Amino acid sequence: RKEVEQDPGPFNVPEGATVAFNCTYSNSASQSFFWYRQDCRKEPKLLMSVYSSGNEDGRFTAQLNRASQYISLLIRDSKLSDSATYLCVSRGAGGGNKLTFGTGTQLKVEL
């Protein structure tokens, strides 16, 4: 089983739609979690950290459920510029606190 699993998509949605991505992680010792965004042929960039209490940044909301080892990202009022691959990331305990990446979920927002 992969340490971080995501639905690869692609998710094709119309502009203005709400879309949700899910992610599960297998290492219960994982300490922190992030959503990164990666545009085609570019480096990953942090979208937001994920906190147990849930957190919101504008149109983006992230949730963490430690009991179910589940992370989600909700994007409201999708824009064309949201088209990208969204990477779910966990940071483990020890071993350099390395980041483990999911394979990413591709989002395409269409007119």
Burial class (CB in 10 A: 0-12, 13-18, 19+), 77: exposed
Select 4 or 109, whichever has its Cβ closest to other proteins. Answer: 4
CB 9 within 8 A of CB 106: yes
CB 100 within 8 A of CB 5: no
**Minimum distance, C-beta of residue 31 to other proteins, in the bound complex (Å):** 6
Select 17 or 100, whichever has its Cβ closest to other proteins. Answer: 100
In the complex, the residues that contact other proteins under the rule CB under 8 A are 4, 31-32, 34, 42-46, 49, 87, 91, 95-104
Angle value at C-alpha 108, between 107 and 111, nearest 5 degrees? 145
**Minimum distance, C-beta of residue 71 to other proteins, in the bound complex (Å):** 15
**Minimum distance, C-beta of residue 21 to other proteins, in the bound complex (Å):** 14
